[in-house]
Structure 1
Amino acid sequence: MATESSSVDNTATLDDWPLRPWLLAGIGGLAGLVVHLILESNGESPWGAALAAAIFFAAAASGFVLNPRRWKEAALFCLGLGVVMGGIAWLAVDSGDSVAGKEFAFAAGVFFSLLAIPLFQADFHRKRWATPYAETHFHVWSDAVSAGGALAFVLLSWLLLFLLQALFSLVGFEFIETLIDTNGFGGFFIGVTFGAAMGVLRNQLGIIGTLQRVVMLVFSLLAVPFALAILFFLFVLIATGGSALWDATDSATPVLLACALGCFVLANAVVRDDDEARSDNVVMRYAALALSASILPLTVFAAISMGIRIDQHGLSPERLWALVAIALATAYGLAYWVGLARGRLSNWSHYLRRANLHLAVVSCVIALLLALPILDFGGISARQQVARLNAGEVAVDEFDFAALRWDFGDAGRDALARLAEGDGRVAELAAKAAEMEQRYPMEMRDTSFGEVAIEFDDPQLEQWVRDYVEEYPWACRTKCVVMDLGTKGNRRHVAFLSERNVQHVTFRDDGVPDPPAAPIDPIPDDVDVAPGNVEIREWTGRRFYVDGQPFGEPFE
């Protein structure tokens, strides 16, 4: 147990404080009621969102850090965290659509809060780099277990409440149903039950420490098969030259980062907070070593995958945030490789623990900086996209002017206005995009598919086509006919025939489309593309016919 095997000397958080459950229940209930009422009445205004966020995060932090010995210091920390998160919420709501990626900035603030709480509990503000890793490790895991237990208690409390409501309704008493429907009761009930559960659990950190060991033991068992799977994946990926990965750049980056995170969690479940608590099982230790070494190659492949995506489509605020995540994950991977090299087989876990503490502090600071309006990812993306257009790296008709209008904030709209002031096709398309009142005109995003005729009877393939048109509305700007061309290699092959061109699309087995091929210019200019007018004829190859006339280039 962490409290026995490590020198967790922040005893103020370990005291059995009888008042704690009652105090936290009161704080939670009041905070839940106030937040509910604020969000219901004024949640869309900047000050309403800021006040609700400040109260929520201050109350939530109090459940973890409030203690009888240093209650003033803990209260100041909770209030400070609430002010910071309230300010971030105010910036997110007040900016409206003028700033791109504001939801990611708020998420960065939440990440900052999750790291700041255990660092404060471990007295990092006093001990700084002399903070024992065991203390931080103990608080991270005990906080996670406590929060999970409290959330489970909230769910059970709701189930019990609904059961009592059903029970009393059998005899004609509806007061519980009336209470549930009372405005603000939901927030109050959640706050009270969560706070009370947190108070009880925080008073039993000895038991939580035992439960923490059980959780880490379970994770340790998962480390072995996961390590084998990751090693096999890396072997196959390297042996095939990464071809399978490059064909799936849409989903590769988040999957690889998720696997890197899994390697981090499972490796630390085996390593634990010191060598005495570390698992004695040799197989688990080597699994942890393999997982630690796998983080860097996974993040490198994620970076390459994202690089391919950026090379194809340029920067966007979402991709810049992904690059930040990749950079942090790569920093952990590099630090782990350095630790493995310095510690070798005998002392590598010691260097991993030191890296965890140092990188946690660095990540906390970076998350706070990114949550503040210091870097404008929309402006960076807009400048890079315009530079690609000016350099001829993307064709004018393929450039996403609508993204500048809708996705990059004020910086994108300013860039669009400058483009509209020029001459030629670029200015024409930029002016049209600047006048758009919706992300895509209704004729470009017909979610009812009234203008899309699907000429085959395959429900799964039809759903893939529908998802494709929803994601790429320009595939059917006005109306089109979709034909099933069968299997092409190991891909399902369909074609979108519109009044302007033919667009071929292939889908993988999981429905993910390959990068779209260049449209084929139509041969006749005055044909009517409509259901019943499109057919496939045998030829020396295969091509489309509309109203009996050849349409487009042969595709086989």
Structure 2
Amino acid sequence: MPFKRLLRFDTDASPDWPQRPWLLAATGAGAGLLIHLLTQAGTTGPAVSARGAAVLFIGIAALLIAFTFERPRAAWGVAFALGGAGAVALVSLLLGGPLAWWEELWRLICILLAVAIAAPLFQAARDEGRLGFPYRSVHDHAWTNVLLAAAAVSFTGVVFLVLFLLAALFRLIGIEAPWAVVTAPAFGWTLGGAASLGAVGWLRERVGVMRGTVGILALLAPVMGAGLAIFLLSVPFTGLAPLWEATRSTTPILLACIAGGLVIANAVIGADGDEARPPAMLWGAIAICLSLLPLAAIAVASVAARISQYGLLPERLWAVVFVGIAAAYGIGYLGALARGRRGWAPRVREANLVLAVGVGAVALVLALPIVDFNAISARSQVARLRSGGVPADRFDFGALRFAMGAPGRVALAQLAADAAPTIREPAARAQASRWPQQLESIERVAAAGAIRVVPVALPVPGALQSAIADFGMTGTMALIYSPGATEAILVSSGCEGCPSNAVRFILADGEWTTVQRDAQPTASPARARIELRRVERRQVFVDGVPAGEPFE
């Protein structure tokens, strides 16, 4: 009976549940420990995809329980948590193992966004007991979830900071046990889960205080509205040329301004009956709403310019999606204002609900392997190369290797088999590289005249080129090498006037490798025989100045 009193899964609609923080802390600790056990097997192997999906399922289910579970209609909360976590796990399985997540990171972000948008809609429907979404309820739950997440992350960080400081303090006096405990992976996962979910549980008992903090963002509305209005009024005089000179940063900055404007405007608009604000705040929110569509139009022009210059890449296609969402919000808000200033806030709230459902649906579609931005980009880039739209010496073969996932690597393999050497050779170099920095080194080493060979100028063997590139040498380079030799010494300098460095390569079993000198174990000087010997060694000199360490 005490256990039943602890859980109290009854239909009491009271938000007070003193046991919630402890139950959620225990849930978080268990989820963290399970995640630790699953991640111990590594990121390779036949079951890695299933393990990765299980990790996401456990983590997302625990988070959704923490944020959305209530005693009234408890079965609804459990079903939503399992369904949301199952959707994330399914997308993970479709993508493959954890190593593939990074190539399709935006798909994971999309499914997480879809679940995050669905959460306040579910919470509102649960409170109503039917399929209905009162704006005040959706609004309050959405803001509360965001604030809870931020507060839980901050609290967890402080918990770890305090424990690490205390453990370090004990290390100062030679007590290592606390440090060993706090640095153990199992402890970190378990404590992180307990601290984060326990903080959510504790704060959910004080939801009213948290929701009251949202209104403070409305103070920024006059500043944000005036700033955006002044910027847009300045554009006709400055033109868009300065924006195109900063093409890489234009779109992210514009989208960040749109997102920030949406947050601040909605802090002013509030829920039903909350729009009675000082005139400066209301006019600031109106200025923000009027600015959204022009900012989105400039972002559209920025993305279009980038695509016309350099073709499609997955990141640019995702930028198109984000700009399209920003434009949809701009159109919705402008439409609400166009129908008159009186009653514009309720119309914006209606638009918010429709747009939220639309964004969630788009995110769900993009999370599934229905549209493949990697394949679209790879086809586009190869078509530009084949058609002569971009010459081979300016084509980014590394983008196919590192930025377009499996479709990019397949396209690169096809280019590596091309009959034209101008395409085949750089494609093969990109195919052989394991990371972008290595490819840059390979391209530099392969460039004509990049390495001066002494004492007699001759081409550098391809295998030796690869070894030099793999080592990652930079700057100006000279190679001491003779035809047929099994040894080569590379001398490099990062800049004019900088000291030179020398590295020795040897040929063994058909492969060039660097020679690393390891420290040799010696006996204790107190007992060993000590003697002084004259040792003859070789060392590279550049204009009489020694470069690098002596060679044996």
Q: Please state which band the TM-score falls in when normalised by the shorter chain.
A: 0.7 to 0.9
Other-structure match for 1:367? 363
CA contact (8 A) 1:231 1:294 kept: yes
CA contact (8 A) 2:76 2:126 kept: no
Q: Deviations over 1:308-351 (max 9, x none)?
A: 11111000111111111111111111111111112x11111111
Mapped partners of 2:316, 2:13: distance in 1: 40
Name the TM-score, length of structure 2 as normaliser: 0.73
Other-structure match for 2:74? 71
Mapped partners of 1:413, 1:84: distance in 2: 28
CA contact (8 A) 2:43 2:98 kept: no
Other-structure match for 1:347? 343
Q: Deviations over 1:380-404 (max 9, x none)?
A: 1122222323433222322223323
CA contact (8 A) 1:299 1:333 kept: yes
Distance 1:33-1:140 versus aligned 2 partners, 3 A rule: same
Other-structure match for 2:284? 287
Q: Which has the higher contact order (CA 8 A, sep 6+)?
A: 1
Other-structure match for 2:135? 133
* 1:18 corresponds to 2:18: yes
Distance 1:341-1:441 versus aligned 2 partners, 3 A rule: closer
Q: Deviations over 1:253-286 (max 9, x none)?
A: 1001001111111111111112x21242111101
CA contact (8 A) 1:28 1:191 kept: yes
Other-structure match for 1:6? none
Mapped partners of 1:407, 1:320: distance in 2: 12
> What is the CA distance between 1:287 and its match in structure 2?
0.5
CA contact (8 A) 2:269 2:275 kept: yes
Q: Percent identity?
A: 36
Q: Deviations over 1:438-473 (max 9, x none)?
A: 341534368xxxx89xxxxxxxxxxxxxxxxxxxx9
* 1:316 corresponds to 2:313: yes
SS of aligned partner of 2:369: coil
User: Given residue 133 of structure 1, which amino acid in structure 2 is its aligned partner?
Assistant: Y
Distance 1:200-1:431 versus aligned 2 partners, 3 A rule: closer
CA contact (8 A) 2:225 2:285 kept: yes
Mapped partners of 2:126, 2:361: distance in 1: 13
SS of aligned partner of 1:16: coil
Mapped partners of 1:182, 1:293: distance in 2: 53
Other-structure match for 2:352? 356
CA contact (8 A) 2:476 2:495 kept: no
1:206-221 map, 5 Å: 206-208=208-210, 212-217=211-216, 219-221=217-219
Other-structure match for 1:155? 157
> What is the CA distance between 1:235 and its match in structure 2?
1.6
* 1:53 corresponds to 2:49: no
SS of aligned partner of 2:384: helix
> What is the CA distance between 1:81 and its match in structure 2?
1.4
Distance 1:285-1:478 versus aligned 2 partners, 3 A rule: farther
- Aligned with residue 201 of structure 2, among 199, 202, 221: 199
Mapped partners of 1:279, 1:366: distance in 2: 34
User: Given residue 367 of structure 2, which amino acid in structure 1 is its aligned partner?
Assistant: A
Mapped partners of 1:196, 1:108: distance in 2: 27
SS of aligned partner of 2:433: coil
User: Given residue 263 of structure 2, which amino acid in structure 1 is its aligned partner?
Assistant: V
> What is the CA distance between 1:292 and its match in structure 2?
0.8
User: Given residue 63 of structure 2, which amino acid in structure 1 is its aligned partner?
Assistant: A
Mapped partners of 1:481, 1:283: distance in 2: 61
Mapped partners of 1:171, 1:422: distance in 2: 66
SS of aligned partner of 1:267: helix
> What is the CA distance between 1:119 and its match in structure 2?
1.5
CA contact (8 A) 1:63 1:199 kept: yes
- Aligned with residue 179 of structure 2, among 174, 177, 180: 177
Other-structure match for 1:535? none
Mapped partners of 2:186, 2:98: distance in 1: 28
CA contact (8 A) 2:56 2:89 kept: yes
Segments of 5+ residues of structure 1 without an aligned counterpart are 1-10, 453-472, 485-530, 533-556
User: Given residue 323 of structure 2, which amino acid in structure 1 is its aligned partner?
Assistant: I
Other-structure match for 2:37? 37
Mapped partners of 1:100, 1:27: distance in 2: 28
Other-structure match for 2:441? 442
CA RMSD of aligned residues (A): 3.4
Distance 1:14-1:247 versus aligned 2 partners, 3 A rule: farther
Other-structure match for 1:387? 383
CA contact (8 A) 1:419 1:430 kept: no
> What is the CA distance between 1:426 and its match in structure 2?
5.6
Other-structure match for 1:550? none
Segments of 5+ residues of structure 2 without an aligned counterpart are 1-10, 452-471, 479-491, 497-541, 544-552
> What is the CA distance between 1:409 and its match in structure 2?
2.8
Distance 1:478-1:429 versus aligned 2 partners, 3 A rule: farther
Name the TM-score, length of structure 1 as normaliser: 0.72
> What is the CA distance between 1:181 and its match in structure 2?
3.7
CA contact (8 A) 2:333 2:348 kept: yes
Mapped partners of 2:267, 2:160: distance in 1: 32
Distance 1:363-1:71 versus aligned 2 partners, 3 A rule: same
Other-structure match for 1:500? none
User: Given residue 285 of structure 2, which amino acid in structure 1 is its aligned partner?
Assistant: A
Mapped partners of 2:223, 2:179: distance in 1: 48
> What is the CA distance between 1:179 and its match in structure 2?
3.1
User: Given residue 84 of structure 1, which amino acid in structure 2 is its aligned partner?
Assistant: A
